[in-house]
Structure 1
Amino acid sequence: MNRGNRDGFHGDRLFLKKMKEVGFDIVDFGFFRDNVIWIKTLEGKYVLKGFRREETCRKQLKVSKMYKGQKPRIMGTYTVFPNNKRYIQFGEYFWAIMPFYKGDGLHFGNQKDVIAGMDAISRFHSFSKNLPSDVYNSLSSYSLYKKWSERYDAFKYHAKKARWSKEMQPLIPEILMWGKWCLDHFDHSAVESLEQKAHKRREITHGDVAPHNFVLNREKSKEAYLIDFDLFAAVPQAYDWLQYANRILPFWYWSYSKMEEMGNQDYLKWFNKKWFVICLVFPTDLYREWNRALKSGDQEMIEGVEKFTLRDFSHRKKFVDRILNKIY
């Protein structure tokens, strides 16, 4: 791990001194990100996560507590420092600590991993309906239409200024059309009704069902579980399934029959809902990755997103065209 270029970090010596104060003997440490540190101690391996606001740190610890001790595990949860503190302040952050969970992220091109991910989401949703009111009420919520409108507008803005390659140029109008079509046909009444029912049922979402937010210890278990509380939200569980579909379909050439083969009932039932099918047209992953790449100007990142877009395009187009023909 590169230990250089960390803004606001107070240097190795002070960090080691702080760790000693809380009861750790550090053998080694490194950075995943500025605010995510792994540490190897005589007591074992841990991950420290830093929050700029104390309130955010306390909120995550409160939510984490709800998932502690569940078997099979539903979420990777925080623990305490050796001095029994739940979090400490150091540098610019308030730091919480969790064990370094052994295992790998999922690979969405692997059928067993896709199924393990679905089962993990189902277990998470089932348990999360039991969260106490005060924990549920502390979570933020959002409007899917508003979130996507903003993402579409950002891509439209970046697309105008971008210097597209000759391969990408002819695809941009269609990628924009998909977003506009979805927003124009968005089933507001169905989604608003869904959001109201979800609020009554106290449904929450994980919010980031990316492959790296699952842990699967292949040697010990077939069951995966989720990590990361950052994007928990008080919105319909269907939004996790929508995001999961959007993340796995590119690995399976946008094949619905493949989804039927792998999907559990919690996932597949949404494909019968018109609002959900309309939302599958929205290229949220392309907008997200292109917005990030074009904003940063990082050439390597841009090339990576372009490669994915070109490889994925014809399969996605067939899938989208089928929906457009069906809905019109």
Structure 2
Amino acid sequence: MKKAVNITGKLGGDDGFQDRLLSYLNQNLPYQIVRLTPLRRNVFIVRLSDGFQFVLKGYSSLRRLKIQEAFIQSLKKEGFPFTYSMYSFPKEHCLYFESQYFGIFEFLTKGEEPFFYDSKKSCQEGLQLLEKFHGVSEKLVGSYKTLLPFFHLIEKWEERFRQFKSNIPMLSFFLQKEVVQDLSDWAEWSLAGIKQEKGALQLFPNVILHGDVAHHNFFRSSNGELLLIDFDLISISPAMIDYLQYANRILPFLNWSCKELSSFEQLLPYFKHTIFLYALVYPTDIFREWNRLVKDHSFNDTRKVRAVMELTIGQYDKRQAFYEEIKTRITNGGN
């Protein structure tokens, strides 16, 4: 048997964590495991002696693990095959190791062309898949309404803004005062408008949101099929919440063009709703990344700082012009 390669504390605990996990798995699974390859914290690719591979992922509670198992099974049963499978164990035979409950996921083979938001075609393909996901997840809301939280947009964004404002003394070493003020002004204007129009959210049916529509959660398989993965942040709310996050993700690749964004058939209907327009102005991505940088004490990591600075400043003028166009649309009644 090959000895497992140690991993850093960042990926799985102390330096002997992977060796201990390998020993535990070989004692508790009816397979000969020859290698664990870390992907990120508490997520590993497991290779068996016959070459078969699967993904092992740790959860902080058995409840979270079981919800993932049930939800993925529900998706497939209701007609959404565009994701991985998850292999479940009876409750009494769950994999529990050093405060983590581990689930086993199908290993997906990557295609030659990974998925990125680097073309309008890719952006459209991702939206089409997300639309299919919402079409199925809407049917599941009744079954999961007591298991999943409701996503409260206003509360979430107000808290993110509070964190950003509390971090301003630290951010002043990196950002000009005028930039910080602009970001704060945009957030205040956006939140005020969303609160004013919050009743409009009742016009939309609830779905189960994916919650993290970053490009890396869209997976291009070896047969060219696009899959949706990683449902750790699922919650209940109108589909507009996922589409807002998706819009925020793709706008930098669209050069912050309002015309390009509204050209997608899945997004165009939302441009008729003022609450969606107000929400597009909230700089959620910038707040998220600066707050994370402060929380993780990563100011000495030049690579991370450079990436967040580029996000903030790189297309600042285009972002500002986009926001001004949105404000004009609202002033003109959404036209």
TM-score normalised by the chain length of structure 2: 0.86
**Which position in structure 2 is the counterpart of 1:99?**
106
Name the structure 2 match of 1:112: 121
Query: Counterpart of 1:244?
Result: 246
Match of 2:39 in 1: 32
What are the within-5 Å matches in structure 2 for residues 158-307 of structure 1?
A: 158-165=167-174, 168-188=176-196, 190-194=197-201, 196-198=202-204, 201-217=205-221, 219-221=222-224, 223-261=225-263, 263=264, 265-298=265-298, 299=300, 300=302, 301-307=304-310
Matches within 5 A, 1:31-70: 31-41=38-48, 42=50, 44-68=52-76
**Correspondence for 2:82:** 74
Deviation string 1:239-278 (CA, Å, 9 cap, x unpaired) is: 00011001100111111222244x1x22221122111011
Q: Give the aligned partner of residue 313 of structure 1.
A: 316
Choose from 151, 158, 173 the match for 2:160. 151
Change beyond 3 A, Cα 1:179–1:57: same
How far has the Cα of 1:47 moved from its partner? 1.1
Whole-angstrom CA distance in 2 between matches of 1:7 and 1:212 = 24
What SS does structure 1 have at the residue aligned with 2:161? Answer: helix
What is the CA-CA distance between 1:171 and the residue it aligns to?
A: 1.4
State the shift of 1:29 in Å.
1.3
Contact 1:154 1:291 in 2 (8 A): yes
Letter in 2 for 1:3: I
Q: Do the aligned partners of residues 84 and 100 (structure 1) sit closer, same or farther apart at CA in structure 2, a change above 3 Å counting? A: farther
| Residue in structure 2 matching 1:134, options 140, 143, 149 | 143
Q: Is the 8 A contact 1:75 1:226 kept in 2?
A: yes
- State how far apart, in whole Å, the 1-side matches of 2:108 and 2:238 are: 28
Q: Deviations over 1:293-325 (max 9, x none)?
A: 123231322221002211120110000011223
Q: What is the total number of aligned residue pairs between the two structures?
A: 318
- Which one is further off, 296-305 or 315-324? 296-305
CA deviations over 1:86-127 (Å, ceiling 9, x no partner): 841112100011011122652112222211111110110111
* Superposed CA offset, 1:23-75 (max 9, x none): 22223212222321111222522111111111111122111211236776333
Tell me the SS of whatever aligns to 1:215: strand
Measure, in 2, the Cα distance between the counterparts of 1:205 and 1:54.
21
Contact kept, 8 Å, 1:158 with 1:295, in 2: the verdict is: no
Identify which range, 83-92 or 315-324, moves more after superposition: 83-92
Measured in 2, the distance between the counterparts of 1:287 and 1:187 equals: 19
- Segments of structure 2 that go 5 or more residues without pairing to the other structure are none
Superimposed CA distance per residue, residues 98-157 of structure 1 (whole angstroms, 9 cap, x where no aligned partner): 011122652112222211111110110111122263323311113211111111111111
Q: 1:282 to 1:260 in 2, by over 3 A?
A: closer
Gaps of 5+ in 1: none
More off after superposition, 57-66 vs 233-242: 57-66
Whether the 8 Å CA contact 2:218–2:226 is kept in 1: the answer is yes
Amino acid at match of 1:116: E
| Residues 28/321 of structure 1: CA separation in 2 closer, same or farther (3 Å cut) | same
**8 Å CA contact retained: 1:8, 1:92:** no
Q: CA contact under 8 A between 2:217 and 2:228: conserved in structure 1?
A: yes
Q: In the superposition, relative to structure 1, how do residues 225 and 243 fare at CA in structure 2: closer, same or farther (>3 Å)?
A: same
3-state DSSP of counterpart to 1:204: strand
Residue 210 to residue 30, structure 1, CA distance change in 2 (3 Å): same
Task: Say if 1:202 and 1:317 are closer, same or farther in 2 by CA, change over 3 A.
Answer: closer
Q: Any conservation in 1 of the 2:6–2:18 contact (CA below 8 Å)?
A: no
| Residue type at the aligned position of 1:14 | R
2:333 maps to 1:324:
no
Contact 2:137 2:208 in 1 (8 A): yes
Looking at structure 2, the residues matched to 240 and 46 of structure 1 have their Cα atoms a distance apart, in angstroms, of 29
Matched residue SS, 1:275 = helix
**Residues 136, 202 of structure 1: 8 Å contact kept:** no
Q: Which amino acid aligns with 1:149?
A: E
Contact 1:67 1:77 (8 Å CA) reproduced: no
One-letter code aligned to 2:84: G
Asked if the contact 1:141/1:235 (under 8 Å) is kept, the reply is: yes
Q: Which has the higher contact order (CA 8 A, sep 6+)?
A: 1
Residues 271 and 327 of structure 1: CA distance in aligned 2, closer, same or farther (over 3 Å): closer
